[in-house]
């Protein structure tokens, strides 16, 4: 399907509207029977140090009378954009100011965990693409351990994909699978696919909103040739994934994760403020993705920030992320994908308690 001509009208003049197709959120039930609760266990926490944002989930496992774990209850879910991956694609090192921003947020998260009573040994913290690529990663990992009380785990891309798959699919009905989970981050994108018995394989490629922006964009708004270059490179990487893992084409349902996907959904919905319930399990169509992309790509950053649903701190990298997302839809021939706000954090929580029955329940979080 050839791309439509660029449209110059800003989406900020549109009135907020509901999900496409008239549904409220298109949620999918888990089909699981919850255990009869006896008493909540001690809370636990997961922190993901990504290329663009640092996120925290504090959850309280609920244990049933039979000793099995039910879906965890969310106590806090926070996100801060620190741009940890600033300059890593070009220089191969974490910038001192980016490390400082990240450590400052980790101090905030440590205080939140203390407030909620997360005990020692109940925290799992991971570092992903930016830390993987940086020669000076220990300048982050050491101070982070001192603040949080746990050594950050440097995940491979495939490990990151597996955890994202676990978090994104735990509350879905297996009968709707097999699933393909696309985790579009700041420095990399993970493609994790399942089979009849759950997770099967994951592949990570170095395309993300920060990486595409820093590598290809110099003009504001990006020049057509810059957009073309970012989409072309993204397309080549995704084609490599398809060749290596043909199973991705067999997925019955595709789930999209992370900031770019959630932001495109929020802009399409016209959300004046972030609403997890509206974004989670919203069906994002190809037409909507192409439309939002054309709008944001033709606006300067100063104009782009007026679009409802777009955070100011994400405005400079969202077009780079859209280039990757557009390529995902085009290469895989997708008509739609399911947006999920359950992701690697939920997978990290589940991995700590062996709870694959469901991610932390949405709608009970503080923060966004």
77/179 same-domain check = no
CA-based end-to-end distance of the chain: 36
Question: Do 176 and 297 reside in the same domain of the chain?
Answer: yes
Q: Are 326 and 231 in contact (CB under 8 A)?
A: yes
Say which residues have a Cβ less than 8 Å from residue 100's Cβ, sequence separation at least 6: none
Among 144-153, 171-180, 305-314, 350-359, the minimum mean pLDDT is found in 350-359
pTM equals 0.82
148, 248: one domain: no
307 and 209 assigned to the same domain: yes
Residues 22 and 58 in one domain: no
Strands (E), 219-351: 253-257, 283-285, 336-339
Residue 55 pLDDT? 95
Q: Which two tokens stand for residue 14?
A: 């549109």
Let me know if residue 333 belongs to a domain. yes
Instruction: Please say if the pLDDT value at position 343 is more than 50.
Output: yes
pLDDT confidence bin for 72, thresholds 50/70/90: confident
C-alpha–C-alpha distance, residues 132 and 135, integer Å: 8
Where residue 68 falls among pLDDT bands split at 50, 70, 90? low
Q: Which domain holds residue 271?
A: 11-26+158-339
Mean pLDDT to the nearest integer, 325-343: 96
CATH of the domain at 75: 3.30.420.40
Q: If you search the block for the tokens 């050594």, which residue do you land on?
A: 151
Q: pLDDT higher for 73 or 101? A: 101
Q: Does residue 5 register a pLDDT over 90?
A: no
Q: What is the mean pLDDT of residues 330-339?
A: 96
Same domain, 269 and 282: yes
Question: What DSSP designation does 273 have?
Answer: S
* pLDDT score at 229: 97
Number of structural domains found in the chain: 2
Distance CA 264, CA 217 (A): 19
CA 19, CA 349: separation in Å to the nearest integer?
29
Whether 330 shows a pLDDT value over 70: the answer reads yes
Peptide linkage before 139 cis (omega within 30 of 0): no
CATH number at residue 239: 3.30.420.150
In a domain, 6, yes or no: no
pLDDT of residue 195: 78
Confidence check: pLDDT of 187 > 80: yes
pLDDT of 33 above 80: no
User: Residues 273, 172: one domain?
Assistant: yes
Both structure tokens of 75: 């106590």
Domain shared by 192 and 306, yes or no = yes
- DSSP-derived letter for residue 361 is B
Token pair recorded at residue 146: 């001192």
Cβ neighbours, 10 Å, residue 120:
7
Q: Is 366 contained in some domain?
A: no
Helix (H, G, I), strand (E, B) or coil at 331: helix
Strand partners, 40: 62
> Region 200-207: what's the mean pLDDT?
93
> Domain check: are 187 and 140 in the same one?
no
Distance CA 116, CA 30 (A): 28
User: HSE of 56 in the Cβ direction (CA atoms, 13 Å)?
Assistant: 26
Report the C-alpha gap between 153 and 125 in whole angstroms.
6
Quick one: 165 and 287 in the same domain?
A: yes
Burial of 149 (0-12, 13-18, 19+ CB in 10 A): middle
Answer whether residue 364 shows pLDDT above 60. Answer: no
CA 235/CA 319 separation, integer angstroms:
15
């Amino acid at each position: 399907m050839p791309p439509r001509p660029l449209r110059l009208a800003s989406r900020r003049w549109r009135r907020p509207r509901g999900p496409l197709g008239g549904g409220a959120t298109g949620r999918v039930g888990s089909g699981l029977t919850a255990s009869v609760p006896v008493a909540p266990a001690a809370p636990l926490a997961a922190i993901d140090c990504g290329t663009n944002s640092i996120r925290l989930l504090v959850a309280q496992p609920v244990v049933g009378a039979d000793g099995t774990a039910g879906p965890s209850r969310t106590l806090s879910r926070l996100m801060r954009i620190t741009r940890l991956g600033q300059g890593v694609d070009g220089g191969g090192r974490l910038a001192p100011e980016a490390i400082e921003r990240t450590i400052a947020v980790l101090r905030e998260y440590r205080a939140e965990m203390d407030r909620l009573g997360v005990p020692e040994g109940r925290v799992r913290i991971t570092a992903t693409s930016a830390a993987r690529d940086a020669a000076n990663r220990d300048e982050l990992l050491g101070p982070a351990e001192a603040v949080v009380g746990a050594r950050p785990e440097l995940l491979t891309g495939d490990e990151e994909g597996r955890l994202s798959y676990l978090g994104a699919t735990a509350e879905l009905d297996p009968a709707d699978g097999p699933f393909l989970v696309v985790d579009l981050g700041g420095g990399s994108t993970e493609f994790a696919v399942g089979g009849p018995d759950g997770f099967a394989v994951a592949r990570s490629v170095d395309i993300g909103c920060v990486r595409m922006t820093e590598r290809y964009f110099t003009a504001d708004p990006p020049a057509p040739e810059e957009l073309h270059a970012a989409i072309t490179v993204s397309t080549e990487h995704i084609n490599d994934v398809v060749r290596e893992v043909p199973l991705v084409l067999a997925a019955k349902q595709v789930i999209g994760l992370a900031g770019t996907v959630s932001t495109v959904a929020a802009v399409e919905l016209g959300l004046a403020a972030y609403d997890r319930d509206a974004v989670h399990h919203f069906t994002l169509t190809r037409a909507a993705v192409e439309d939002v992309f054309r709008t944001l790509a033709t606006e300067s950053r100063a104009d782009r920030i007026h679009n409802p649903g777009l955070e100011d701190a994400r405005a400079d990298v969202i077009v780079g992320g859209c280039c990757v997302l557009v390529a995902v839809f085009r290469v895989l021939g997708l008509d739609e994908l399911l947006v999920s706000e359950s992701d690697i954090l939920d997978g990290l929580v589940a991995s700590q308690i062996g709870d694959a029955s469901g991610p932390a329940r949405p709608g009970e979080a503080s923060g966004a």
